[in-house]
């Protein structure tokens, strides 16, 4: 039978395979019909599915990786206020509210000194919340499984067809069974390396890109955080970032070369480099602990325009990548799908395609704002391999200005905590009182 992680609802199946002997079953293509086929069960795909479900709209999620892999992937940790508000309003924010760590400010360190930027005071009460992306994904998967709606992990050979036709088709293989899902719309939420963006003819897509000549070595350490809030640091030896996941877990990043192997970094070398870069004259330095995870992540900026092609909408990393320095990637993914869910809901509710037609342009406006901020954070806080002493002094002057001007701090704080969502007439969002 058509067997997803959760048993698909009967009305979505057009093939009754119960009576078919197993041998014959192998030759059947399991056919399904849904309103929205979602490719990818990362934060974008899972959030979209959840918002659609709350609006009574059916979806099928097709994910290439296993459930364990998706849940255990350690990535983002900073949630903007709007992301938190949306999750809470959508009924998936209980654990986030209990275990998430609210931060009212952030530190910027350079020349051996830490300077605090007070978000709450500068933005009228907004803050960020530290909550691991994997925890959020875990909550969203649980919510999906609870609905009983289809979610196919371990899907191979995922392909898209008929995107120009009244019904798009998604094909894939799951547990040796071939599937074919017909859908009114496809949501390409399959990240940077997915199949959705490449399914758009090159002539209809414009890609804007920038690669950075450095990367991050990220580690997770079993150590109590030694600062209540994040510390972003520009140092002569390169960028460093102090973050956390819980009162027992510290998350740290070091600028390194993109071609470096994380295994070349011994624990001793990591701690000595972290102390050298992060130590400040107020006594702050990270507390050491057992390193439980190490990985190198490259950095790039990318925007694909438009974010819609025929029956397919791109969302999240499938449509755009930001370097991680501004902590915007996950938040942009959530902003995209909140907008998309509102547009799809308006379409099924009153037959109006107006919001669907406006999706790409309005989502891209937020994307470019985040690109600007992430590029600025990245170029100001890292040392480029071909950077001169002049560049370093200019970067320090930029940071001096940031921490001494209330106007500059306000601008920074506004960008960092992110804008509230505003999707005119988006029913699901209006109901969740996330519009401003
Ligand atoms: P993804 O999370 O990439 O999910 C896409 C899903 O699609 C994956 O599960 C993938 O397996 C699946 N998929 C791929 N191909 C296929 C296929 N062919 N068929 C089916 N499924 C497929 N962002 C922040 O906002 N704040 C931060 O603090 C932050 N820190 C970061 C730190 C690091 C080290 C890194 C690497 C990223 C960070 N980000 C941060 C970025 C953030 O993790 C991403 O932007 C976010 O994961 C995007 O979500 P997504 O759902 O669009 O894509
Ligand atoms: C984290 C990641 C980021 O990219 C960032 O800018 C801040 C914090 C983190 O993983 O905690």
In a domain, 347, yes or no: yes
User: Do you know the residue count of the chain?
Assistant: 436
Res 16 pLDDT > 70: no
109 bridge partner residues = 114, 233
Within 8 A by CB and 6+ apart from 140, the residues are: 43, 46, 47, 49, 50, 92
> Is there a catalytic annotation at residue 138?
no
| 193 Rama class: left (phi>0) / alpha (psi -120 to 50) / beta | alpha
Residue nearest to atom 47 of ligand 1 (CA): 330
| Residues 65, 153 contacting (CB under 8 angstroms) | yes
| Residues 315, 336 contacting (CB under 8 angstroms) | yes
Within 8 A by CB and 6+ apart from 418, the residues are: 80, 81, 82, 83, 328, 331, 335
Return d(Cα 401, Cα 417) in angstroms, integer.
Answer: 20
> Is there a catalytic annotation at residue 28?
no
Ligand 1 centre distance from Cα of residue 308 (Å): 19
In a domain, 142, yes or no: yes
Beta strand 101-103 pairing with 128-130: antiparallel
> Is there a catalytic annotation at residue 232?
yes
Neighbours of 194 (CB within 10 A): 21
In a domain, 191, yes or no: yes
Return d(Cα 35, Cα 39) in angstroms, integer.
Answer: 13
In a domain, 50, yes or no: yes
Within 8 A by CB and 6+ apart from 328, the residues are: 322, 370, 373, 374, 418
Beta strand 155-161 pairing with 168-174: antiparallel
pLDDT band, residue 40 (cuts 50/70/90): very high
pLDDT tens figures, 302-354: 999 999 999 999 999 999 999 999 999 999 999 999 999 999 999 999 999 99
Looking at 179, 185, 212, 232, which residue is catalytic? 232
In a domain, 282, yes or no: no
In a domain, 149, yes or no: yes
> Is there a catalytic annotation at residue 416?
yes
pLDDT tens figures, 174-195: 999 999 999 999 999 999 999 9
Q: Give me the CATH number covering residue 87.
A: 3.50.50.60
Domain total of the chain: 1
Res 156 pLDDT > 90: yes
pLDDT band, residue 198 (cuts 50/70/90): very high
Ligand 1 centre distance from Cα of residue 67 (Å): 14
Res 8 pLDDT > 50: no
* pLDDT, mean of residues 109-124: 97
Atom of ligand 1 nearest to the CA of 328: 25
| Residues 95, 135 contacting (CB under 8 angstroms) | yes
pLDDT tens figures, 42-98: 999 999 999 999 999 999 999 999 999 999 888 889 999 999 999 999 999 999 999
12 or 279, which is more confident? 279
pLDDT band, residue 25 (cuts 50/70/90): low
- What per-residue confidence (pLDDT) applies to 6? 59
- What per-residue confidence (pLDDT) applies to 420? 87
Residue nearest to atom 3 of ligand 2 (CA): 327
For the entire predicted model, the pTM comes to 0.93
Q: Which domain covers residue 179, as residue numbers?
A: 15-98+129-208+301-388
Q: Is the C-beta atom of 251 inside 6 A of ligand 2?
A: yes
pLDDT tens figures, 163-176: 999 999 999 999 99
Compute the CA torsion angle 86, 91, 95, 99 (nearest 10 deg): 30
* pLDDT, mean of residues 406-417: 98
109: exposed, middle or buried (Cβ count in 10 Å: 0-12, 13-18, 19+): buried
What is the best residue among 60, 75, 337 to mutate for testing ligand 1's pocket, by most ligand atoms within 8 Å of CB? Answer: 75
What is the best residue among 253, 322, 326 to mutate for testing ligand 2's pocket, by most ligand atoms within 8 Å of CB? Answer: 253
- What per-residue confidence (pLDDT) applies to 24? 52
- What per-residue confidence (pLDDT) applies to 26? 55
In whole angstroms, how far apart are CA 32 and each of 2, 35, 129, 169, 182? 9, 10, 39, 10, 6
Return d(Cα 390, Cα 31) in angstroms, integer.
Answer: 63
- What per-residue confidence (pLDDT) applies to 157? 98
In a domain, 81, yes or no: yes
Proportion of the chain above pLDDT 70, given as a percent:
91
pLDDT band, residue 14 (cuts 50/70/90): very low
Laid out side by side, the sheet with 78-79 consists of 78-79, 128-130, 101-103
In a domain, 422, yes or no: no
| Residues 418, 331 contacting (CB under 8 angstroms) | yes
Q: In a 3-state reduction of DSSP, which class is residue 404?
A: helix
- What per-residue confidence (pLDDT) applies to 422? 74
Radius of gyration of the chain (CA): 23
Ligand 1 centre distance from Cα of residue 43 (Å): 7
Res 10 pLDDT > 50: no
Looking at 53, 64, 103, 382, which residue is catalytic? 103
- What per-residue confidence (pLDDT) applies to 76? 87
> Is there a catalytic annotation at residue 328?
yes
Looking at 50, 107, 328, 382, which residue is catalytic? 328
Atom of ligand 1 nearest to the CA of 133: 43
pLDDT tens figures, 209-265: 999 999 999 999 999 999 999 999 999 999 999 999 999 999 999 999 999 999 999
Q: What is the mean pLDDT of the chain?
A: 92
Ligand 2 centre distance from Cα of residue 335 (Å): 18
What is the best residue among 212, 230, 242 to mutate for testing ligand 2's pocket, by most ligand atoms within 8 Å of CB? Answer: 230
């Amino acid at each position: 039978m058509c067997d997803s992680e959760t048993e698909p609802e009967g009305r979505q199946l057009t093939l009754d395979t119960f009576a078919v002997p197993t041998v014959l079953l192998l030759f059947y293509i399991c056919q399904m019909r849904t309103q929205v086929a979602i490719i990818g069960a990362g934060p974008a795909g899972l959030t979209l599915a959840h918002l659609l479900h709350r609006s009574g709209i059916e979806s099928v999620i097709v994910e290439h990786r296993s459930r364990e892999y998706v849940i255990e992937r350690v990535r983002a940790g900073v949630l903007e206020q709007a992301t938190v508000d949306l999750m809470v309003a959508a009924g998936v924010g209980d654990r986030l509210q209990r275990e998430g760590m609210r931060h009212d400010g952030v530190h910027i360190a350079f020349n051996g000194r830490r300077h605090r930027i007070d978000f709450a005071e500068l933005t009228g009460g907004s803050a960020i919340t530290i909550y691991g992306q994997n925890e959020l994904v875990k909550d969203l998967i649980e919510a999906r499984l609870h609905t009983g709606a289809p979610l196919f992990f371990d899907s191979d050979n995922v392909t898209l067809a008929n995107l120009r036709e009244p019904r798009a088709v998604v094909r894939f293989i799951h547990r040796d069974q071939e599937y074919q899902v017909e859908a009114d719309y496809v949501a390409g939420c399959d990240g940077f390396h997915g199949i959705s963006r490449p399914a758009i003819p090159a002539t209809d897509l414009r890609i804007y890109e920038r690669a950075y000549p450095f990367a991050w070595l990220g580690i997770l350490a079993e150590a109590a955080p030694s600062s209540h809030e994040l510390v972003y640091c520009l140092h002569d030896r390169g960028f460093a970032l102090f973050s956390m996941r819980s009162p027992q877990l510290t998350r740290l990043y070091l600028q390194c070369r993109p071609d470096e192997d994380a295994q070349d970094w011994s624990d001793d070398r990591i701690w000595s480099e972290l102390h050298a870069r992060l130590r400040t004259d107020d006594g702050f330095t990270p507390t050491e602990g057992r390193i439980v995870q190490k990985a190198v992540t490259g950095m790039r900026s990318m925007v694909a325009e438009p974010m819609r092609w025929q029956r397919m909408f791109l969302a999240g990393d499938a449509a755009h990548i930001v370097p991680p320095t501004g902590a915007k990637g996950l938040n942009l993914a959530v902003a995209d799908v909140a907008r998309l869910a509102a547009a799809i809901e308006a379409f099924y509710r009153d037959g109006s395609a107006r919001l669907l037609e406006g999706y790409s342009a309005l989502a891209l406006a937020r994307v470019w704002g985040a690109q600007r901020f992430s590029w600025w954070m990245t170029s100001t806080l890292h040392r480029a391999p071909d950077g001169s002493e002049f560049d370093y002094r200019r970067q320090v002057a930029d940071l001096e200005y940031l921490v001494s001007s209330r106007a500059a701090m306000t601008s920074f704080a506004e960008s960092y905590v992110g804008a509230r969502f505003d999707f005119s007439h988006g029913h699901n969002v209006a109901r969740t009182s996330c519009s401003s």
